[in-house]
Amino acid sequence: MNYFDDMESAFTKWNNRTESVLTAISNRFIGLHPKHPPVYRTICKDGFLREKDYRYEINLDEKLPGLQAGQLVYVWSKLWSEQEQEVPFSLSCYSPVRVFIQGEAQFQSNLNDDVFPDRKTGFRAKVQKGWNHIVLEFVKTGTGCGGKFGTGSIKGFPLHVLAPSADRSGQEGWIYSEPLQEAWPSIPREEIAEVDTGIRWYPNVSWSETERNAGVFTRLYGTPVSQHAYAWAKLACNHGLEQKFKLRGTHQGPISIFVNGTKVFATIETEGRFEISLLPSYGSQHVIVQSTCSGVRWGVDWEDIPEQSGFKWTKPYPVEGLQDPWLYLGPFKYESSDQVDHIPFMDKVFQKEDGGIYWRADLRNTWIRPYLENPMYGRWNYPLGVTLYGLLQTGKELNITHYTNYVTDHIEQITSLDAYALWDVEQYGAPAVNHQLTSIDSLDDCGSFGATMLVAM
């Protein structure tokens, strides 16, 4: 008895031509799983972070120390799904909780759940294709308020969620409400503005007026005299005319400004105005500012660019959840500005005297972080190791470099972020990239993929 009918056989369809069958299978796999890079998002460390078991630690007693018994707190996020499916979730309770997905109740804790916070309770819930809004309703009791919530399958489904409101679109994590005396009458099913809920939401990522007036480097890094930090953005030009353009602004503390790696302005003066003449053509140029702290306020204030000029500031790299075009890095003890060539990169941890550092945003305790959101490309696991080995050998046998390049690029994306991923675990508890590579606990985790990597090398 045949495993399947000959009419369903690719080998039959291509008249027993092995090369054609291999080409069809390879093209189908690559077409279904194209080369998508990691997604960079903002994350506020004042929110809830995932622990090593990939569940979010939601301790509302810590976040809202004035909670009173009987008050309710809502914790809200959204989850993307490529298809309609059942998803495994896991929950440990510090207090009574109800779980809503798309406005429908999916789980309610019982007394045994509530009084044993170390107990893991699993449940499965159906999610729709697209965005799914998840709301956790916690009640404050004498035992606490909150719990741990997240994936029920660490390796199979290491989910992370995004901020659900229009105000924080693209940011990773949950938002949580102020304490409420009564139940929220309308559990959301779609993205809305926070103000339209009638509820105050946290964490607060906005600066106070005093902090805004202090200047960006001061509010981000304080006043570490003689240390320096960097700001990075792109200056985009939407016309092809090679005409001179002047950037103007004021500075506090010594600064150096680089355009595409070339120093175009520098001063050791503690404050003053500056003007830079550029001759950019159509496209964009990377602009890096190195500022050194010499007092209470340090950094650069740019004059507004006239809209009719055709120039504007843009992000140096796509970052979801970021409205401001600038990324910030530092502070570092003073060293030669020749090191600026090593600055404009997103796939590395920057070393400083007391450990590693990475890019952050001009928001309260908000950082930049890469996330692997592809179902296949860029992941490391046993079945992918076997599949990519077959694709590598197919490319070699058929002399099709497109196939072998796909495999080596897949491996390169993983390995280029490996050092960052190990550092990421230390910062956030659970990695957002390379999750199986940073938590190897069996031969299956490393055997087939490790062998494929060695063959590729």
Structural domains present in the chain: 6-32+376-456 (no CATH), 40-202 (2.60.120), 209-362 (2.60.120)
Chain centre to alpha carbon of residue 143: 33
190, burial (CB in 10 Å: exposed 0-12, middle 13-18, buried 19+):
exposed
Neighbours of 282 (CB within 10 A): 12
pLDDT higher at 202 or 375: 202
- What is the pLDDT averaged over residues 90-108? 96
Using only C-alpha atoms, the chain has a radius of gyration, in whole angstroms, of 26
User: Are 287 and 234 contacting, i.e. CB atoms less than 8 angstroms apart?
Assistant: yes
Distance CA 132, CA 343 (A): 38
According to DSSP, the residues that pair with 130 across neighbouring strands are 81
Residue 70 predicted with pLDDT over 60: yes
Of 72-76, 302-306, 442-446, the range with the highest mean pLDDT is 72-76
Share of the chain above pLDDT 90, in %: 77
Over residues 196-241, the pLDDT tens digits come to 999 999 999 999 999 999 989 999 999 999 999 999 999 998 876 6
Average pLDDT, rounded, for the chain: 92
pLDDT at 283: 80
Q: Would the pLDDT of 337 be above 50?
A: no
pTM for the structure as a whole: 0.93
